[in-house]
Amino acid sequence: MTEKTSPDLRPAPRDPAEEAMATPTGPLEMERRMHALGDAATWEDVDAQAHRAWDAPYGPPETWAVDAEDREIPGPHGPVPVRVCTPRAPADGPRPCLVWLHGGGFVHGDLDMPEGDHVARGVAGRADAVVVSVDYRLCDGFDGSPAREFPGGPEHVTAPIPLDDVCAAATWTRSSADTLGIDPARVAIGGASAGGNLAAAASLRLTDEGTLPAASLLMYLVAHPVRPEPDAEEAQALAATPPMVRFPLETMQAMSSNYLGRPFQEATPYDFPGLADPGQLAALPRTYIETDEYDDLRVSGRRYAEQLREAGVDVEYVVRRGVCHGHLNRVGLAEARDSMDRMGDLVRGL
């Protein structure tokens, strides 16, 4: 179930009949599995059967008549790997396009993870659109473990290098419109989690450079270096979330510090878009923000939606009920299909 918000970003009143149809009769499947984890402090303390159930797929993967081509495009720090997903059916004209960014805390993730590949194919198929999934450079782990190797340099990655890769991919996508069969005026940018941060930051930078994206699709993004305070409903949901799937403040601060590679006070809106002032935000395109009910990052997503609306941006803010952070990585999950349906509608309508 989703909840769209009224202008103050709180759930709008519903007709009682609509409420009855929209409210599930019992726990949603991901929520049910989450509750089975209990309140154990670590994964080692979780019941083995509950742990296996948590990791199990929710259904078969989707199949779409989409061709995927892996390429390397030029970037300021070396080649940037991308995967171009194109519907096989003949097009009536230039297609819309989504530049898509996986998540992974700025240290993990690739083009093959469900959030990267399954989502790219799913949106391409739903929207009859081209999706360019970007494998931006990753930072070393919080513990100093080396990042996955990328073609070219640099050896040590911090902000703004991943953003440089993303902006290079967006620029290449527009400039390759004829080859890709897309309309350069209908290129949106989107991402999930850390990828949502990069999509929002790229929207800011590209807009400042005079190349406004057609729209931004931001899925459970992190928009602030330090998490804003939750409201009462958010706090209640987070209190019901098992510790293993939460992002406590110390984890969030470690991720932000690791990505920045410099003190928080030196962070810019291109690092964390929630730091932008209303004047900078006001120029942004239509933005869709979706957060997960049982996710600490929902507070940052909600606050960023409020900031955009206060700046006069056309914003749609949705809480995806019954799911934890990263639900687009859960193959076969009904709520992940719902999210991709909405993303497909938005891209198709560009």
Q: Which strands sit side by side in the sheet containing 2-4, from one edge to the other?
A: 2-4, 315-324, 287-294, 216-219, 182-192, 95-101, 130-134, 80-87, 66-73
**Close Cβ partners of 108 (under 8 Å, ≥ 6 residues apart):** 138
Name residues whose C-beta falls within 8 Å of residue 220's C-beta, 6 or more positions apart in sequence.
Answer: 103, 192, 193, 196, 290, 291, 292, 295, 297, 298, 301, 325, 326, 327
Average pLDDT over residues 6-12: 36
Q: Residue 49: CB partners within 8 Å, gap ≥ 6? A: none
Beta bridge partners, 67, equal: 86
How high is the mean pLDDT of the chain? 92
Helices then strands, counting H and E runs in the chain, come out as 12, 9
Using the CB atoms, write b or e for 286-304: b if 16+ within 10 Å.
Answer: bbbbbbbbbbbbbbbbbbb
Tell me, what's the pLDDT at 218?
99
Give the whole-angstrom CA distance, residue 242 versus residue 159: 31
The residues that are catalytic are 193, 295, 325
pLDDT at 265: 87
pLDDT over 50 at 94, yes or no: yes
**The pLDDT of residue 153:** 80
pLDDT tens digits, 63-84: 999 999 999 999 999 999 999 9
Higher pLDDT: 152 or 329? It is 329
Cα of 195 vs its chain's centroid, Å: 5
Residue in 337, 332, 321 with CA at minimum distance from that of residue 32: 321
Is the pLDDT confidence value at 122 over 80? yes
Q: Quick one: which H or E segment has residue 239? A: helix 232-239
- Residue range 252-261: average pLDDT? 94
Residue 162 has pLDDT above 70, yes or no: yes
Q: How far is CA 51 from CA 27, 144, 147, 242, in A?
A: 18, 28, 27, 12
Tokens of 222: 């992190």
Buried b (16+ CB within 10 A) or exposed e, 34-45: bebbeeeeeeee
